[in-house]
Chain A
């Protein structure tokens, strides 16, 4: 029972490089989301999706892209990495019931941008 799987767990990028953080869930959840966690700032929502083909912006979407071609996968793309994007990124999913229900989190992806 894998739950929510994030890869990679650690990544170091140089400023201007692009990369994709992968997120997959095997619980057939319609809702998926990406958060970043920073010291002193807490968890902030980047993007979310309520089903395949549907995405929307959260609180801090600038510099990030998402797509949802399948129910299982919700990748987060950094288009041109900046030091301000150094953070721990969490993917989370939930059964869609008209609102966010119990959230299941991945273990996180720790990104450093030099």
Chain B
């Protein structure tokens, strides 16, 4: 059974710091991995989608990497800003279906001015 873990659960950093969020999954036979951002009281916004054949994806100050063999993905945020404060979640498809996603519990990020 696929399980997704995100560590740490919460993170507080000063503005300008580069940071890494971690996502681990137990079964490496995944089609893709997706990172999301959720602001309080809002829905999720997809940030990056990495296909199983890719090792990383970049969007602006965000870079996501994928290492299937070790069951890990990282989301790198460069030069963090207070506007980056949100909860970040990762999700992967379950083992027996590419249409069912399993989400991690998320990392709650606070960037202090």
Interface, chain A (partner B; CB < 8 A): 4, 31, 35, 40, 42-45, 48, 50, 56, 58-59, 90, 92, 98-108
Interface residues on B, range: 20 to 34
* Min CB–CB distance A99 → chain B (angstroms): 4
* Interface residues of A, dominant DSSP: strand
Interface, chain B (partner A; CB < 8 A): 31-32, 34, 36, 41-46, 49, 89, 91, 93, 98-101, 103-106
* Min CB–CB distance A84 → chain B (angstroms): 19
Q: Is the CB of B98 within 8 A of A103?
A: no
Q: Is the CB of A45 within 8 A of B101?
A: yes
Q: Is the CB of A105 within 8 A of B44?
A: yes
Q: Once the chains are docked, how many angstroms separate the CA of A108 from the CA of B42?
A: 7
If A42-B104, A108-B43 touch, whether A102 touches B49 (CB-CB below 8 Å) is yes
* Min CB–CB distance A72 → chain B (angstroms): 18
If A43-B89, A100-B93 touch, whether A105 touches B43 (CB-CB below 8 Å) is yes
Q: Is the CB of A99 within 8 A of B98?
A: yes
A-side contacts of B49, CB under 8 Å: 101-102
Closest residue of B by beta carbon distance from A107:
B43
Known: A105-B44, A106-B43, A108-B41. 17 other contacts (CB 8 A): A42-B89, A42-B105, A44-B103, A45-B100, A45-B101, A48-B100, A90-B43, A98-B98, A99-B31, A99-B98, A99-B99, A100-B93, A102-B46, A103-B44, A103-B101, A107-B43, A108-B43
